[in-house]
Amino acid sequence: MATPQRTPFKQFWRRFKGNRPAIAGGLIVLSVFVIALFAPVLSPYDPATIDVEKILTGPTQAHPLGTDELGRDILSRMIWGSRISLMVGFVAVGISILIGILIGAVAGYHGGWIDDVLMQFVDIMLSIPTFFLILAVIALVEPSIWNIMIVIGVTSWMGVARLVRGQFLALNEMDYVTAARALGAKDGRMIFFHILPNAMSPVYVSAVLGVAGAILIESSLSFLGLGVQPPTPSWGSIITGGKDTIEIAWWISLFPGLAILFTVLGYNLLGEGLQDALNPRLKD
């Protein structure tokens, strides 16, 4: 009797679940997502409530992660700050993925002078340090969460464009693409229905890793005072509030720093696991 063949998803899941670091990363990502989703329920205090009687209180039963220089509960501010980090990560990556797919698909599909012009533009953008480019743009616009997300998104698409272009150049020579083109399929249909679905595997990996990068950039901007503005809590701004009192109130900077560390680590482990599961030949 013929043995049933595994579906592509079952093959992917078999490879992915055998990768323990990837599973650990996925659990970290899922935990942060659940915390952000249920922040109103999980937060023991209002993150903006000031209590002058509990300024710089260390970790206690009432305040497990201590309080800051204004008496605000660190745990509550970190829980609400996870929403900011994930929102910036998802929206910024969504913008960068959209721009990268459009430019990479057009360049890889048409080739020729269109490819040359678009790739030269990508090279110019890559030659500019991304973080300094973001700083320059932020200096010209009002620092807000929406501006941060847009700026990170429109300055982080170059890697995706190159990935998609490379996939299109390879898939353009496949038999099914040649057959669809011979049947008279238009360019739009060729790009979005025949080639792009088969070129998305590296984009998924890039998106997961991009969320980690966006969280780091947002935290860095907030630490410098150019990101999310008070009183909205952000992991980076919480660390900023504790840098002047780090010798006597170490908990203010330590716990949000660990949150950034483990969240970024979780996305990186998950992204590496997805890459190994989606492209097992890369391990050979």
What pLDDT, on a 0 to 100 scale, did the predictor assign at position 4? 53
Q: Cα(83)–Cα(33) distance, rounded to whole angstroms?
A: 8
Q: Cα(25)–Cα(278) distance, rounded to whole angstroms?
A: 16
Spans of all domains in the chain: 21-45+69-282
Tens-digit pLDDT profile for residues 140-158: 877 778 888 888 898 889 9
21-45+69-282 architecture in CATH? Orthogonal Bundle (1.10)
Tokens 């209180």, located at residue: 57
C-alpha 48: how far from chain center: 26
Q: Give the CA angle between residues 215, 217, 221 to the nearest 5°.
A: 115
Sign of CA dihedral 86, 251, 132, 148: positive
What pLDDT, on a 0 to 100 scale, did the predictor assign at position 280? 64
What pLDDT, on a 0 to 100 scale, did the predictor assign at position 1? 47
Q: Cα(115)–Cα(119) distance, rounded to whole angstroms?
A: 6
Sign of CA dihedral 122, 127, 128, 131: positive
Q: Which two tokens stand for residue 202?
A: 């590296």
Contacts of 221 (CB under 8 A, 6+ apart): 134, 135, 138, 143, 148, 227, 236
Task: Supply the DSSP symbol for 45.
Answer: S
What pLDDT, on a 0 to 100 scale, did the predictor assign at position 172? 85
Q: Cα(148)–Cα(93) distance, rounded to whole angstroms?
A: 12
Q: Which two tokens stand for residue 122?
A: 């990508």
What pLDDT, on a 0 to 100 scale, did the predictor assign at position 283? 54
Those residues of the chain that have pLDDT short of 70 are 1-6, 280-284
What pLDDT, on a 0 to 100 scale, did the predictor assign at position 30? 96
Q: Cα(106)–Cα(120) distance, rounded to whole angstroms?
A: 14
Q: Which of 99, 93, 101 is nearest to 167 (CA)?
A: 101
Tens-digit pLDDT profile for residues 47-82: 988 888 889 888 999 999 999 988 999 999 999 999
Which spans in the chain are helix H? 8-17, 20-37, 39-42, 74-110, 112-126, 130-140, 145-154, 158-171, 175-182, 187-189, 201-223, 235-242, 251-278
Contact 73, 62 (CB under 8 A): no
